[in-house]
């Protein structure tokens, strides 16, 4: 497998964790989002959306981090599953993940921030206010969800990492990078710390990737 | 089943189509996003994120339209499936859907537009430019994907509607509502027209919902 990724892309970070958790080997090719390599013809051929990650498996190129994670579970069911349990439990794992993958990440994505500054003329302070606002809006809701769990669990949705934790850790990394006060979210912060003890998460860290 | 939805929410529109395609009966409860009913305690108890849709099935409340759609396939496999085929085909259906559900819809969501105007002081013209920009960015890529299909198909990913079409139709509805030039996307427009011939899609239309 080849993973076209970029050290600072949190969508790519999710897929690195997913591949590591499932114990699948992969080669990495860095597509530099800062110098614009994602807009080059060679990358558009891989992904018309000009985004990372792209996972190539048996010559087929797959896009969208959540779709790739689901694919890994379906194509490689013999290794540790990212979604587990009943249909309801799986729906809860997906919903937790999608709250981050839909409601925080795309709104705070690099291209959106660049558009805010370039096309909308928003200044640096307001850009930062925007960034924090969308993290707080959803983290507040997720912290509430964790508080209301029927029983204390080690990870977002149970006692093993799931697709939810795969999304949480890169989002907390971004929050820390932009100095969001994580003391407001003690349950999220504790789960993040617990994940970072696990090799699959540790090895996926942005600082350890090609091009970092 | 009870669907907490709102006529103008395109995430709720997706779930109405999904339920209709699967032939599942449901009761609707309107949560008015314009008057702020989604921020009331009674709705926060259903969904800490204060968003619609919420689907209640056997007393369990599920959130996030994509997670709900996947749940319906897993919990009711005997009816028409929203995801079909091999792991690769299912990944392609999900990726098409997620390009809309992650990369257009959340960035153009009502609460984001309200924040742009209220907190960022963006004027009406620039707000509309923003709205159009994110639709064009992803529709351009999806139109290219459709052009590059190995074979002509009736729907986004094959000859029956899938989770991809469930996301496409509400997004085209929004594009038309805000006067995006859909003649730029003839393949998307043709699939949308084909979907609208189907009862499951027609009955889910915003104009036909309680509170419209």
Residues of B in contact with A88 (CB under 8 A): 60, 62, 71, 75
Cβ neighbours, 10 Å, residue A210: 11
Residue B156: what pLDDT? Answer: 98
Asked if the Cβ–Cβ distance from B126 to A120 is below 8 Å, we say yes
Whether residue A73 has pLDDT greater than 90: yes
Residue-wise pLDDT for B158-195, tens only, equals 999 999 999 999 999 999 999 999 999 999 999 999 99
Nearest to A94 among B67, B87, B145 (CB): B67
Q: How confident is the model at residue A159 (pLDDT cuts 50, 70, 90)?
A: very high
Q: Model confidence over A173-182: pLDDT tens digits? A: 999 999 999 9
Q: Which of A144, A195, A202 shows the shortest CA–CA distance to A168?
A: A195
CA A191 from centre of chain: 15
Within 8 A by CB and 6+ apart from A55, the residues are A1, A2, A3, A4, A15, A26, A61, A62, A68, A71
Number of other CB atoms surrounding residue B166 within 10 Å: 30
Q: How far is B211 from chain A (nearest CA, A)?
A: 25
Query: Are the CB atoms for B102 and A106 separated by under 8 Å?
Result: yes
Dihedral, A165, A171, A173, A178 alpha carbons, nearest 10: -160
**C-alpha torsion B200→A106→B84→A23, nearest 10:** -160
Q: How far is CA B195 from the centre of its chain?
A: 13
Instruction: Determine whether the interchain pair B87/A74 forms a contact, defined as Cβ–Cβ distance below 8 Å.
Output: yes
The answer to whether domain A2-80 has CATH 3.40.30.10 is yes
pLDDT digits over B8-30, tens only? 999 999 999 999 999 999 999 99
A82 vs A94: CA distance, rounded Å: 10
Yes or no, beta carbons of A102 and B70 under 8 Å apart: no
The Cα of B45 is separated from the nearest Cα of chain A by a number of Å equal to: 10
Q: pLDDT for B40-93, tens place per residue?
A: 999 999 999 999 999 999 999 999 999 999 999 999 999 999 999 999 999 999
Residue count of chain A: 212
- The pLDDT value recorded for residue B17 is 98
What pLDDT is stored for residue B212 in this prediction?
Answer: 86
Q: Across-strand partners of B29?
A: B4
Among A9, A94, A132, A146, most B C-beta atoms within 10 A, so best to mutate, is A94
CB contact under 8 A, B64 and A141: no
Domain ranges within chain B, ordered by starting residue? 2-80, 87-200
Output DSSP code: residue A158. B
Cβ-based contacts under 8 A for chains A and B? 131
Q: How far apart are CA B201 and CA B79, in angstroms?
A: 16
What percent of chain A clears pLDDT 70, i.e. is strictly above it? 100
Q: Which CATH class is domain A87-200?
A: mainly alpha
Is it the case that residue A150 has pLDDT exceeding 90? no
Cβ–Cβ gap A63/B95 under 8 Å:
yes
ipTM: 0.98
């Amino acid at each position: 497998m080849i993973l076209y990724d970029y050290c600072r892309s949190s969508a790519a970070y999710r897929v690195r964790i997913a591949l590591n958790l499932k114990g699948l080997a992969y080669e990495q090719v860095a597509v530099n989002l800062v110098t614009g390599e994602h807009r080059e013809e060679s990358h558009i051929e891989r992904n018309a959306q000009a985004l990372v990650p792209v996972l190539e498996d048996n010559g087929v190129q797959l896009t969208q981090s959540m779709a790739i994670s689901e694919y890994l579970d379906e194509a490689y069911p013999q290794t540790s599953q990212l979604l587990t349990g009943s249909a309801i439990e799986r729906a809860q794992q997906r919903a937790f993940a999608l709250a981050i993958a839909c409601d925080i990440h795309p709104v705070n994505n690099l291209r959106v921030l660049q558009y805010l500054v370039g096309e909308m003329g928003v200044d640096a302070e307001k850009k930062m206010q925007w960034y924090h606002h969308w993290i707080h809006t959803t983290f507040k809701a997720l912290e509430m969800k964790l508080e209301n769990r029927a029983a204390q669990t080690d990870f977002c949705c149970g006692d093993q990492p799931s697709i939810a934790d795969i999304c949480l850790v890169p989002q907390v990394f971004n929050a820390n990078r932009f100095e969001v006060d994580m003391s407001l979210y003690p349950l999220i912060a504790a789960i993040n710390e617990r994940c970072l003890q696990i090799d699959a998460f540790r090895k996926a860290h942005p600082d350890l990737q090609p091009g970092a």
